[in-house]
Amino acid sequence: MPFYDLKCKCGEVFNKMASISDKENRRIKCPKCGSNELETVYLSVNVVKSGNSDNVRCPNIDRCGGCCPHG
Ligand SMILES: [Zn+2]
């Protein structure tokens, strides 16, 4: 059975293992308010941040130790 990350209209986010027919027939209910008006969210998507891994090596690193104002 697939595992769903679900968000309720009340704001509750939870995950639930359920069959596809359970989901399509709205048989999954919010544990907080009992509503079946849920939307699927994807919490496990890896968010990769870019821009902070800028390891520009100083060309004079063996002379200056990497502390010269290169760049
Ligand atoms: Zn709810």
The pLDDT mean for the chain works out to 81
Mean pLDDT of 36-60: 69
Tokens of 49: 């941040």
pTM of the complete model beyond 0.85: no
39 Cα: distance to centroid of ligand 1 (angstroms): 11
Q: Which tens digits make up the pLDDT trace of 9-41?
A: 999 999 999 999 999 999 999 999 999 999 999
Residues 6+ apart with CB under 8 A from 16: 3, 4, 6, 28
36 Cα: distance to centroid of ligand 1 (angstroms): 8
